[in-house]
Chains A and B, each alone.
Chain A
Amino acid sequence: MRFHFTAEQVALHDAVSALLSGTCTPAAVRAAWTAPASSFDRASWQALSEMGVFEVLVPAEAGGLGLDWCSLVLVLEATGRVCFPGPIVETAAVAAPVLGEAPRLLGAPPPLGEAALVLGKAAPLLGGAALPGAPMISASLGGMPAPCGDDADLLLVDHRETLLLLPRTAVSGQRLESVDRSRRLLRVEAIDPSMATVVAEGPAALEAALDRAALGTAAQLLGLSQTMLDMTVAYVADRHQFGVPIGSFQAVKHRLADALMELRFARPVVYRAAWSMAVADAAATEHVAMAKAMASDAAEVIGRAALQCHGAMGYADTHDLHLYLKRSWALARAFGSAAWHREQVAVRLGI
């Protein structure tokens, strides 16, 4: 029994974190709110790709890093901390692990060999459309709109019990405005099957994809919660009223102590789910459901405390808090709300 991360897992997290803290500033997140889709922040996407972030779960024999969820969970938490704009969960957690299986599912070795299906090199199989070095892949699963789907290069869509990979151009749908403007959701309405690559088949494939999406989102919620708490602690220590920092008032302290507690106890639940996914534990789905429920609830509690303790300062959209807050609202319900996931746990508990 050892419930901690290895030095290598921590090192990957630290490297990603260092990269993102330099590039994914609040100003960059804000810019993603207003940037037209075509000018989406490709530079940081490419930088993450070069670090191997999208290939963490891709087997080494398929050209990936060959790591597991114990590495990815920390990487995604780091992307949550900076409120990274872009379909990173959908690319790295949902799509990447199944792209590696595509050649077998296609029934014949693809012309470029198995390694060619590693992310970024899949373009020739997708109708030859020119793709940037590291494609952005979003996912529309179970009829839910694809996060950042309007900006994505490729979309993973479940269709008649298969997971299809499609170029954005082969998908028509409606762009939906999220309260988090950086998400630019796409509701998929029609696809061009002639452009589709089948990457996984059967109902289990969709269930597994939803598990990966929920866990990746839970990891991001931990990061977002940490940032909202950190911002609030800094603010209440600095903001003076009645001649003293408002953080010296017990009502404020207690609310933030509770916020801290929710975060500290949600974290090991998310990490355990990552381990269960890594070892394909029989209860992995239940563990993911518990993780997503707790991370979503923690983000709600922390987001509310953060907004309240920032007072009117935090209610102004000139303050950065709302960027993180709105992302946390979106993610708390994306790929299943806390209540939906508790329902999954209830079914598995047999109650």
Chain B
Amino acid sequence: MDLTWSESEEAFRTEARAWLEENVPEDLGSGDTREGFARHLEWERLLFRAGWSAVSWPPELGGRGASLWEWLIFEEEYYRSGAPQRVTQNGIFLLAPTVFQFGTLAQQTSILPRMAAAEDLWCQGWSEPGAGSDLAALTSRAERVEVHSAGSASGGGWLLNGHKTWTTRGAFCTHLFGVFRSEAGSERHSGLTYLLVPLSLPGVTVRGFGRLDGDEGFSEVFFDDAFLPDESPFGSWVLGDRGDGWSVAMATTGSERGLTLRSPGRFMATATRLVEAWRRSGCADPALRDRIVRAVSRAEAYRLFTLQSVTAIADGAAVGAESSINKIWWSELDVELHACALDVLGPEAELEGPWSKGWQFSLAGPIYAGTNEIQRDIAAERLLHLPRSRR
């Protein structure tokens, strides 16, 4: 066991910290409004130009070839510096790991550099009005068409119809990665295809709507006979094999619930701010103080659990269903940290501000990426091997 960082890792941390201290912008405001998103894009592009937008990717794809350890260090420093949540996260942390795993070389070299540069902006098109926790109930269709009158000369493509919803920042993005039913007569987990879709496609309509905090962070995406011609700048619009979309999608959920979307650095930074808020407040309530220590300890536990997981991954282990308890932990931790902060603020907690904003966002955690109820089912069935059953 060695819980120290190497000299080169410390040097990496120093370099990241110095750059961030120099460059992190003053409060950009929410990235979930049209104006805010534009400000955040400038920040994303600055990160990219300095090589910090996707540190763990190979340099030729827009990263700096950092190890998983260095990625964790960067995330710690990123959130420690007060830098904002990443508006590119659904591309960089959810789609990209799936592209690395399932994408062709042509897809990797065409999708990833533009994603790192915040040129192509990706949103997730999975949930539907009738398919939330039960994702396999989705009904959006991708019909294979060999010759289409509205298509290019070569003719073939996919005809898309359906309705996706709760798509984060869909109204501001350029592309969607989605799961569609492609095989006629197929049911549930089979016959689905994972498609990459430009939102500029005729027949695609995106309509933003307000989240709990009122920002236009949600959107609905409608597909009305939208024809996606085979010719693609990515080589193919299909990620993985046709009809195998469920397996590809499950790899994305591993990233979403597991390591990449919510690194410990983010919660450590929130814990530090909570402790600072307590000190500034002059509050002396021993019960609240005890809750704060408990929440801070649980943030530390998440960091340590992650260090254990990354050691295992570095040794070749797969993450698997462990990502489900991981997701329950960090999402409940985030709620707990923010709930403590609101109690520190007292009557001022109702005011619009970073804590009330963060509180509202934390409440989404137990819902998105598969509700915590679904995660508990998964943990019980796959980690404890309890009998499967209807929900």
Contacts and interface: CB of A to CB of B under 8 A. Distances in A.
Q: Do A and B come from one complex?
A: yes
B298 A248 contact: no
Interface stretch (A191-199, A262-270, A312-320, A322-330): A262-270
A175 interface: no
A271 B304 CA distance: 9
Interface in A231-269: 233, 236-237, 244-245, 247-250, 252-254, 256-258, 260-261, 264-266, 268-269
A265 B380 contact: no
A272 B304 CA distance: 8
A104 interface: no
A2 interface: yes
Contacts of B149: none
Contact of A237 (B290, B298, B324, B386): B386
Residue among B297, B310, B322 having the largest count of chain A Cβ atoms under 10 Å: B297
- Which size bracket describes the interface of B in this complex? 35 or more
Given A245-B387, A256-B380, A265-B329, A3 B300 contact: no
Contacts of B6: 1
Interface stretch (B85-93, B101-109, B245-253, B371-379): B371-379
B3 A3 contact: yes
Given A6-B1, A254-B373, A265-B329, A248 B296 contact: no
Given A3-B1, A4-B308, A261-B379, A349 B275 contact: yes
Interface in B287-322: 289-290, 292-294, 296-298, 300-302, 304-305, 307-308, 310-312, 315, 322
A3 B4 contact: no
Given A261-B379, A290-B297, A349-B293, A1 B305 contact: no
Given A257-B380, A351-B292, A233 B325 contact: no
B9 interface: yes
A247 B69 contact: no
Given A260-B383, A275-B1, A351-B293, 7 more contacts: A1-B307, A3-B3, A4-B312, A6-B1, A244-B389, A268-B304, A351-B289
29 contacts: A4-B315, A237-B385, A245-B386, A247-B386, A247-B387, A248-B386, A248-B389, A250-B376, A250-B389, A252-B386, A253-B377, A254-B373, A254-B376, A254-B377, A257-B328, A258-B328, A260-B383, A265-B301, A268-B304, A268-B305, A269-B300, A271-B308, A272-B3, A275-B3, A290-B297, A294-B301, A297-B294, A351-B275, A351-B279
